[in-house]
């Protein structure tokens, strides 16, 4: 959430920044509400000052045994006015908060200016695209031939978009999750968490999933709870309404979770196999850090996430998202895109974002600055480290053999008890 004071004092900058993010929020309407809010606050303060004066006058008249009825009536009128103003202020505050919740974060100055994903900037590539002396198969054919996935039976259970991993496919999925958690905790210093998969409304409000993207979330009406779209949601809210010690920052968490997304806007997009699903597994990386450290911590998190692909020896590239392609909550974001030999294109497996104080302001997460001795909103950073569906796509297609068997990367062999899927 943006600070209303910042919007008020930097109106033109905010409008231009939102325009670069293809957002048409009515900032003028928000500022009008803010003006009315401040007028009411001023009026209430004046009335309360008047009330204090009347109280003193009443006390003095009582001491002198004089008539106080007129002043008592004045006091009642003032109290009624204060109550009316308080009610009006409460309504304005609700309207203002509701509108502020729909305003996205502002892009950082280093983010490339652009209208959409076509203006994203490729920063670097790692590794080489695999070469085959045969026609490579797609992940869906490879998975079905080797009985790694059973989409026909999963449809009977849950409909489309809910993969059923079977036999060695299930083992490989579990191995990937364990491998990634081990790397991030043992080598990168993250604390492992295993969060709940259902959260109350406040949690996705903090991260920015609500209210704007409610249609993309699975909602459990009876309990008024939401299935998490990523472990970012519960982990970020771990410290909501807390004041963290500056000496404890940066806090680093790695968490596995199942993720649930309705993908309401996916019509017309490629949804075959594992390319776009409603339920998937992911290891999430979340950091809580001081504002001055946050962009260095973003780069560090990006390196941590891409190290997974390096260890698996999978070709990938790093892309800096343009202003027009940034997510709602992000001030800056890098995508990690892994290569799919069959699809002949890059597939996103991670988005690594700095949200600055956008989420911490919504969740009231602060730290005490030792130099100023004041409370400040900290910065939050997160990224996938990694999401498994498209990682699985790339792995199966990259490590396939001419006989449709699939070799196992050396790094995963300790997690499995086989060297090849056939």
The whole-angstrom separation of Cα 378 and Cα 366 is 5
3-state secondary structure 73-113: HHHHHHHHHHHHHHHHHHHHHHHHHHHHCCCCCCCCCCCCC
| The two structure tokens encoding residue 37 | 């809010």
Residue linked to tokens 């209210």? 211
Which domains, ranges and CATH numbers included, belong to the chain?
4-100 (1.10.287.40), 117-421 (3.30.930.10)
First-to-final CA distance of the chain? 51
What is the bridge-based pairing of β-strands 225-227 and 332-340? Answer: unpaired
Q: Tell whether omega for the bond before 250 is within 30 degrees of 0, i.e. cis.
A: yes
What pLDDT is attached to residue 267? 52
In the predicted model, what is the mean pLDDT of the chain?
94
Give yes or no for a contact between 395 and 274, defined as CB atoms under 8 angstroms apart.
no
The whole-angstrom separation of Cα 227 and Cα 223 is 11
| The two structure tokens encoding residue 134 | 């045969």
Give yes or no for a contact between 196 and 244, defined as CB atoms under 8 angstroms apart.
no
Residue linked to tokens 């990694």? 386
What pLDDT is attached to residue 266? 52
Cα dihedral 26, 27, 29, 33, rounded to 10, equals 140
The whole-angstrom separation of Cα 267 and Cα 271 is 9
Q: Select from 345, 306, 279 the least CA-distant residue to 139.
A: 345
Q: How far is CA 55 from the centre of its chain?
A: 51
Q: Tell whether omega for the bond before 325 is within 30 degrees of 0, i.e. cis.
A: no
3-state secondary structure the chain: CCCHHHHHHCHHHHHHHHHHCCCCCCHHHHHHHHHHHHHHHHHHHHHHHHHHHHHHHHHHHHHCCCCCHHHHHHHHHHHHHHHHHHHHHHHHHHHHHHHHCCCCCCCCCCCCCCCCHHHCEEEEEECCCCCCCCCCCCHHHHHHHCCCECHHHHHHHHCCCCCCECCHHHHHHHHHHHHHHHHHHHHCCCEEECCCCEEECHHHHHHCCCCCCHHHCCEEHHHCEEECCCCHHHHHHHHCCEEEEHHHCCEEEEEEEEEECCCCCCCCCCCCCCCCCCEEEEEEEEEEECHHHHHHHHHHHHHHHHHHHHHCCCCEEEEECCHHHCCCCCCEEEEEEEEECCCCEEEEEEEEEEEECHHHHHHCEEEECCCCCCEEECEEEEEEEEEHHHHHHHHHHHCECCCCCEECCHHHHHHCCCCEEC
Q: Select from 382, 180, 384 the least CA-distant residue to 287.
A: 382
The whole-angstrom separation of Cα 344 and Cα 365 is 43
| The two structure tokens encoding residue 110 | 């280093």
What pLDDT is attached to residue 100? 95
pLDDT beneath 70: ranges in the chain:
264-271
């Amino acid at each position: 959430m943006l600070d209303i004071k910042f919007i008020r004092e930097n109106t033109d900058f905010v409008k231009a920044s939102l325009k670069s993010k293809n957002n048409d929020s009515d900032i003028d309407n928000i500022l009008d509400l803010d003006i009315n809010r401040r007028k009411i606050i001023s009026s209430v303060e004046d009335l309360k000052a008047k009330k204090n004066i009347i109280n003193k006058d009443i006390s003095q008249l009582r001491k002198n045994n004089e008539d106080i009825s007129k002043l008592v009536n004045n006091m009642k009128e003032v109290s009624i006015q204060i109550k009316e103003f308080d009610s009006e202020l409460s309504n304005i505050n609700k309207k203002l908060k509701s509108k502020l919740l729909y305003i996205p974060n502002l892009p950082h100055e280093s983010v490339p200016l652009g209208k959409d994903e076509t203006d994203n900037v490729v920063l670097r590539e790692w590794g080489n695209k695999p070469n085959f002396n045969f026609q490579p198969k797609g992940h869906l054919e490879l998975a079905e031939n080797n009985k790694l996935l059973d989409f026909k039976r999963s449809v009977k259970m849950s409909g489309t978009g809910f993969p059923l991993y079977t036999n060695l496919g299930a083992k490989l999925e579990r191995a990937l999750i364990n491998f990634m958690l081990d790397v991030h905790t043992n080598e990168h210093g993250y604390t492992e968490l295993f969060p709940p998969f259902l959260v109350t409304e406040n949690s996705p409000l903090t991260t920015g999933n609500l209210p704007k993207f409610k249609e993309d979330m699975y909602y459990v009406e009876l309990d008024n709870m939401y299935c998490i779209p990523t472990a970012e949601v519960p982990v970020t809210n771990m410290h909501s309404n807390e004041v963290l010690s500056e000496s404890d920052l940066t806090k680093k968490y790695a968490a596995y979770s199942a993720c649930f997304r309705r993908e309401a806007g996916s019509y017309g997009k490629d949804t075959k196999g594992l390319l776009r699903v409603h339920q998937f597994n992911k290891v999430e990386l979340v950091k809580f850090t001081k504002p001055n450290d946050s962009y260095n911590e973003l780069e560090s998190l990006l390196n941590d996430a891409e190290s997974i692909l390096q260890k698996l020896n999978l070709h990938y590239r790093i892309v800096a998202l343009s202003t027009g392609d940034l997510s709602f909550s992000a001030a800056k974001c890098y995508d990690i895109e892994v290569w799919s030999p069959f699809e002949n294109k890059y597939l996103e497996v991670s988005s690594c974002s700095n949200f600055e104080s956008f989420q911490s302001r919504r969740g009231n997460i602060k730290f005490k600055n030792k130099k100023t001795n004041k409370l400040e909103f900290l910065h939050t950073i997160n990224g996938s480290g990694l999401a498994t569906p498209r990682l699985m796509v790339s792995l199966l297609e990259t490590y396939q053999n001419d006989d449709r068997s699939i070799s196992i990367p050396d790094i995963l062999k300790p997690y499995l008890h086989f060297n090849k899927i056939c």
